[in-house]
Structure formats: C-alpha cells, structure tokens
Amino acid sequence: MFKLPTKYDVIIIGSGHAGIEAALAAARLGCRTLMLTQNLDTIGQMSCNPAIGGLAKGHMVREIDALGGAMGVNTDATGIQFRMLNKSKGPSVRAPRAQCDKKAYQFRMKALLEQAVNLDLKQATVSRILAQDGMVTGIETDFRLRILGRAVVLTSGTFLRGLLHVGETSKPGGRMADASSALSDNLREFGFEIGRFKTGTPCRLNGRSIDFARCEMQHGDEPPPRFSFAAPDRTSANEIFSLNFRPLGEFHVEQIPCWITHTTARTHEIIRSNLRRSPLYSGRIKGTGPRYCPSIEDKVVKFSDRDAHQLFLEPEGRHTEEFYVNGISTSLPYEVQLEFLHSIPALEEAQIMRPGYAVEYDFFPPTQLFHTLETKLIRGLYFAGQVNGTSGYEEAAAQGLIAGVNAALRVQSRPAFVLQRHEAYIGVLVDDLVTKGTEEPYRMFTSRAEDRLHLRQDNADQRLTKRGFDLGIIGQSRWSGFIQKMNLLEKGRGIAKQTHIQGVPISQLLKRPDFVCKNLPPELSALLPPDIWESIEIDLKCEGYALREIQQNRVMAARDHQPIPDGFDFGEVAGLSSETRQKLAKIRPTSLGQAARISGVTPADVVILSIWLIKRHLSATTA
C-alpha cells in the first residue's frame, strides 16, 4: 500500500463528459483537483454518436456554456456540421445541434484539461471509495495506491460492471475495447441501492463502400449556429484541433454534409427472423433500455406497421472514412448486421468497420442524492452522469458541472449551488432525478419543463451568467462581454419602445407574427448588431405566452389535490404519450399531484390530464 503524498480538495473519477465539466468547475473555483481515468487517451471520447445538442439537449449545452462550462466552446471549435433544429417552430423549442469531428473534440478537450490551472490528470482504475464516519476521505486504485481527498465525484458512465453484447457473445467492458469497473461492488457495501440499465450503439461503416448517389443530402445551416455565447478563441498555429477558430478570432466552418436513407421491408424481415439471436429478445440482457433511443430490433417489433425507418449517415470526422449510422442501434450478431445493412438502399455493398453492440451497466437510483448531487449516505461523495440513470452527453455534462461546483463549495465551506426548475433545464434535470428517480435511462425533453417558454436556448446567458460570475466560475473577460451585451439589449428595448413606424411602436410591431427584425428600416437596423435585434424580437413575441404560462402553472399548483376518479380510463385521454398512459395505468394515481410525481410524467401531460378531468366533470354535471 502506498499513499500519494499530495492530498487533493476534489477527486474526479472518470473522464467522460460529466467528469470533464466536474473537474474544470472545481479547478476554476480554486480547488486542487485530480481527475482519474482508466485511459488518458480516451478523455472526452464520444462513445456513441459524435454529435452535441438537439432538442432540449442543445438548451442544456448553452446553459452549461453560460455557467462557464467547456462543452459548448469545444463543440464550436470542432464541429463539422451545424444546424438549428425546429427553425420553423416557436423559439422555445428551437435547439442547436452539431456533428463533431470525434477525434478533434476528444484531443482538444484533453489539451484543455492538461493546461487547466489547479487540475492534475492521472491514469488509474479506482477500486474503492474510502470513507470514515460517514465522510469520504479518498480513493484506492487497483494497484493499491491511496489518494486522499476532501470530496470525490464519481462519473464512471457505463463502466460499472459493464457487460458488452454482440449476438450470442458477451464479455465484460464499459465500451468496446475498454475494461469495465467493479467499483459498484464496493459502493454496495456502503448500502447504496444499485440498478441495471442498458444502452447500445450502431455499427460504423466505411464511407468508401456507401453509394451516396442513392441518398438524400442533408446540409448544415449557413451561417452555422454556435453553442457558446463567448467570442471565438484566438488560435495559434500549433493548435491543430481547433478546426473552426482563426488567429484573429473569426468563426469559420467548412461544413460536411450528412446523408439520409431508410430501411426496407426486406430489412425488417431479416431482423424479425433473427430475433431469437438478439440478446435483447433472448432474455440475456436484463437491464432496461432507453425508450427514446430504441434498437432497430425494438423498432421493428414495436412499430410493426411501419414499412421503413429513416436512417442518417453521419461522418465521424474530417479526416476519417468512418460513418455513424444513426437509427440502427443493434446487438444482433455480426453476420446479421451485415445482412440487414445490405438490404438498405445505398448500403448494398457497405463494409462494417465497427459492429453495433449493447452494453449493460450498473447505476444508482438518483433518489439517493441531494439536489447538490451529493449522496445521502456518504458526505462529500457526489454522483454525476450515467451512474445516475441518465442518457446522453449533454445530461451527463450538466450533472458534472453541478456536482463539481458543489464538491468545491463544500470543501470551501460555502453555500451550495442549486438551480431551480424555473431557472434552467439543468434545474429540471436534477430535480426530476432526485425527487422522482427514473425507471429507464432519462432523457431531457422540453415538455419536462413547466417554464419552457422562458427557458429558451437563446437566453441561457441572461438567465445564468450572473449566477456563474457570483460563484466564481465565470471570468472577468467573459463577464465584461456579457455586461456589454446586456447594455445593448437595454438600449435596444428603449429604441423599440420609443421609436414608431407609421404611428406604431416597434415594440408592438415585433410582437406580430408577420413582422420580424429584418423588416426594420436600414437606419434602425444599423443601430444594433443583428443578434441583439433578434433577441429583442424573440423576447417580445414570447412575452404574452410566457406570462400566460406562469399563470397556468399557478393554477396547476393550486389543483395539486384535484381528484382522479377510481377506474378512470387514461387511455381515453387524447394527447398523452404512450409512455404516460402506460405509467398512469400501472400506478393509478388518485390525484393530479400524485400523477405529477410519477417518473416520466411531464408537466405538459399533467396539464392535458387536468383539462380532460375538468371537461369530464362539466360533461357529467350538464348531462
């Protein structure tokens, strides 16, 4: 047994997206921080799709950025295709998404960590958490090295007793070619409840074997929408992994297209005839999988009326021929994967570079945590990421930021940092996890937020940057840029109120759906940058709806005790998702408040149910 002479304030276990944000946050707050990882060469690896953002997920990335996190800036620097999803819909559901160069993202993030002040990186496999009198004291590695620390953040992803499945073959591993960890056995000894989840990933194909002429091309948006609110970094000539930042601070992207194809009836026939060989359907996989990212086997079985499922062929980088096939996550045998791929248009000659596989792993039901993500059993021990039952890089990174900040604040004897549901999607995420728990891998949706008209991706900095600056995780340069933006917004709002066009204030015109800031006369447009005018327009257009949402939330809070009749048929309620109907029918809540506390039931679902109950009551009283 050897004890490392250095004692750390905060120790981070794991170097995925949760571990990265936790380590950087703790270090920025001035804590001497250590990141431990099984492999220094896989820091920030994108184990599944090399993409960041998407619906609700893009909102969280912008919130992470507004609080000084690294994910948004790193995505801007290494993205190869940028899009704003739901552009034709309301501002609250628009969300940025970027396809990244997988290796550039990973290596740039590693360099960022290596250069961070107050942060050390070491390669080691943690085998034990050390604690005394209910307080964490450090960790021990599989080589019997002890490292003392005042707080520990566990972010081990899918590696806890990870088990990989391809067809009839299974082997231990947290990711293909990476070893699993037995650390959950140690935590079980402390009394932690442990569950079992499953996730999966599709095969990767050689781009030279794909007939792109038979696919539909999908371009990125111009100009490409960025994730970070901060100005692009200036880069030096030897910073080879910042693909999109230029020496003078310009943001320039040479975008690469994605491609769209689809499965066929023959594809589905091949899959159905081989279901007995799927570990998912043969009973070998025991863990619960993600409802909203189902395997192709699940799609074929559960949506048997569908003749085709859309697939996206997404490049993994600027200097690789590997393509990620978004839409066919699978654990079928290799030869079956090859057979059904060859039944898909454009993939008749496709070559598999990496097969799809499933991974089962341990997680800790998150009701064992406080809102700081500190465990209730051991003080100073924090959990973040997939160990809490979530799915997705973005959910993991958000938790890592919260856990890292609170671990540092505990060490410094400062008040805890908790985001409320009305402040951020990160607040919704954490509150859902620690109060409701989750029965399946948790994914964020805009429908999970009561205040989603206010929690837009475009105003994340206005909601959160001051919180970050007050904490000390936002630097002076970033803060100065934010203050400058807020002054411009204040100036613009004044102009919009005081300036009239044909007798109507601009502030009233911008509320109209058929009037946008691009309709302003050139002399007015020139007074402010385009992004400032756009922010003012969005605020004005959403203002009335947001106030109505607040009033509706107050009404819903008052209806917490609204009864649900015994024997009520939830299947009759139009507008509820199939997931919600299943859970309501299983638990059979007796009040609206009880329904709202069921894991997977969203605030939007509760509103629909309340309206239905009121209408039913009115119908019954007037009959």
Give the CATH number of the domain where residue 563 resides.
Answer: 1.10.150.570
In a domain, 100, yes or no: no
Q: Is the pLDDT of residue 238 over 80?
A: no
Does residue 429 share a domain with residue 371? yes
Question: How many domains does the chain contain in total?
Answer: 4
Percent of the chain's residues with pLDDT above 90:
82
Cα distances (Å, whole numbers) of residue 97 to 83, 87, 268, 453, 563 = 5, 12, 30, 19, 41
Does residue 20 share a domain with residue 161? yes
User: Tens of pLDDT along 512-554?
Assistant: 999 999 999 999 999 999 999 999 999 999 999 888 888 888 8
Angle between helices 57-66 and 425-436 (to 10 degrees): 110
Q: Which residue range is the domain that position 515 belongs to?
A: 484-556
Q: What is the pLDDT of residue 236?
A: 64
In a domain, 86, yes or no: no
Does residue 388 share a domain with residue 315? no
d(CA 548, CA 562): 21
Q: Is the pLDDT of residue 328 over 50?
A: yes
pLDDT grade for 619, boundaries at 50, 70 and 90: very low
Does residue 293 share a domain with residue 401? no
CA nearest neighbour of 159 among 262, 20, 293, 16: 16
Q: What is the pLDDT of residue 553?
A: 80
What is the per-residue DSSP string for 291-309? Answer: TTS--HHHHHHHTTT-S--
Across the range 366-387, mean pLDDT stands at 97
Does residue 208 share a domain with residue 189? no
Q: Is the pLDDT of residue 617 over 80?
A: no
Does residue 180 share a domain with residue 120? yes
Does residue 298 share a domain with residue 165? no
* CB burial of residue 132 (10 Å; 0-12, 13-18, 19+): exposed
Domain C-terminal end among 321, 340, 355: 355
d(CA 59, CA 63): 6
Does residue 317 share a domain with residue 178? no
Does residue 60 share a domain with residue 164? yes
pLDDT grade for 593, boundaries at 50, 70 and 90: confident
- Pair 493, 543: CB distance under 8 Å: no
- Pair 201, 357: CB distance under 8 Å: yes
Does residue 373 share a domain with residue 335? no
Average pLDDT over the chain, rounded to an integer: 94
In a domain, 337, yes or no: yes
